[in-house]
Chains A and B, each alone.
Chain A
Amino acid sequence: MSLPELQHRLMEAIFDRDKREAAAILVKSHGALDAVQRVGIYRNSVHGILLQYLGSLYPVCQQLLGEAFFEAASDRYIDQSPPTRPFLAEYGAGFAAFLLQHPSLSGMPWIADVAHLEWARHQAWNAVNQAPSDFAQLAGLDEVQQESLTLHTPNSACLLQSDYAIHAVWLAHQPEDHSEKLLLERIELQQPTTVLVWRTGRRLQQVLLSQSEWAFLTAIQQRVTFPELAEQFQEQLPALLMTAIRQGWLLSFE
């Protein structure tokens, strides 16, 4: 058998349990293990590596679902959507959508939004570093410059909106104490939530946003100009701007 065909058979067996026999024809049975079991070791090994990675990416989902359920769900996800790139950090984006479609999780629709939040944290950690602007220079802009001024959130910034209390659920599963932290059973799950995830230097951050903060940052991500912001937010603008700059929600302007 040619090398491409051999590799094709093995690869099929790794991402499809039912294809192990077809690959086992290529393999010697030896000692305590037959050929199917030997192929199975590779399937388990690949799934084990990817399960461990998905667990590191979605630790709160793993705790919420329990290790056994999470492992079974990951197994299915890996077979359905195997990695296609050598950059492991890119893998797993579709896990939230997979959980949303999972027949056993129809009573837990919020779990997919928790997964979205965890993916946003992963993306924020991996975002490209950028040089910040000197916001003190904003004061020196003339009216013409202000007309075309746009503000930018960091590349890492991700705004999330959910019908559920995803920030509180996430916080409930962190080992550290936090003033907002509640036990899971005390959280009102049906609770519209707006969250920002971003990174400053080597620090990953996550905060609940007020409605006006959410609207402000959404407008900024839509590249609305400064006069349009002034029009939309009126007297709230100076306070919103100051908070956003101080918190690091804004990184640059042009």
Chain B
Amino acid sequence: MKHPVQGCGIGLRFQHIDQIVDRKPPIPWLEILTDNYLLPGSVQQDYLLDIAEHYPLTFHGVGMSLGSTDPLDTEYFSRVKALVERVNPVWISDHLCWTSVHGLVTHDLIPLPYTEETIRHAAQRIRQAQELLERRLLIENVSSYLQYQQSALSEWDFLCAVAEEADCDILLDVNNIYVSACNHDFDPLAYLNAIPVERVREIHLAGYEDRGTHLLDTHGYPVSDAVWALYAAAIQRFGAIPTLIEWDNNVPELDTLLAEAHKAAKVQAHVFA
């Protein structure tokens, strides 16, 4: 196959797999959570191969741990590569953060300190990951709830410098920008305006939870009005690039998820009318 990825897609979740396999609803593209499909010869991979016949797919992972100081996990990368070779996703992404170190794995996205040292470290690891996979990667900005004492750069300067030095692309999560902007008091538009247009290949949207003291990126709610407004600003800058709705907690009916993707398409249509 390979249809190019266009328009507004959704993240594929187990709750909807049977429905998608059986009904094959019109969805421009689907993004899989790579880490859920890494058991070779498993029933999950069966489903995925079925789905890959009907939809363009992109891979989105958590396990690369691109910012970790442990060596890259060669077994993880070899399983990802084997799946990439079977399914041929349009592109592969993971996060600019670390998820594991000293042999322990959090399965969560922990931010890096924004320093020159970390730029070199993360960029070198991303280059190594790209070489292992023989693919260009998209790296995604994460939501954060803390700032390190030693951080000397803004998050956006850090992201831009890593992408430049690694020569990789960017998956810009607009919800994550908004969440971090509220948690750390920065201007989300300043973030958007710093990102080089030519590197952004995909946008993520999701819903956060307001915990009173901070916003938590739970992917458990509809996209908020403030994030829709920021999204409109983002596509004015980056163009009508592929946009994906992520929903991981309180996963709703497929139709609700598709309605969110449709809403993103309407925002695009409105901005570019």
Contacts and interface: CB of A to CB of B under 8 A. Distances in A.
Contacts of A86: 35, 62-63, 65, 73, 76, 99-100, 105, 107
Interface in A5-22: 6-8, 10-11, 14-15
A239 to B, nearest CB: 31
A3 B113 contact: yes
Interface residues of A, number: 46
A235 B113 CA distance: 72
Interface in A48-87: 49-50, 52-53, 82-87
Interface string A120-140: 000001111100000000000
Interface stretch (B4-12, B40-48, B170-178, B256-264): B40-48
Contacts of B150: 1, 6, 26
Q: How large is the interface on B (under 10, 10 to 19, 20 to 34, 35 or more residues)?
A: 35 or more
Interface string B100-135: 111111111010110001100100000000000000
A209 to B, nearest CB: 23
B40 A38 contact: no
B156 interface: no
A31 B214 CA distance: 9
A30 B103 contact: no
A89 to B, nearest CB: 6
A128 B98 contact: no
A232 interface: no
A128 B42 CA distance: 5
A10 B150 CA distance: 14
A33 interface: yes
Contact of A32 (B35, B42, B214): B214
Interface of B: 35-36, 38-44, 46-47, 62-63, 65, 68-69, 73, 76, 79, 98-108, 110, 112-113, 117-118, 121, 145-150, 183-185, 212-214, 216, 249
The 7 closest A-B pairs by CB, nearest first: A86-B63, A128-B41, A38-B146, A32-B213, A7-B101, A4-B69, A41-B145
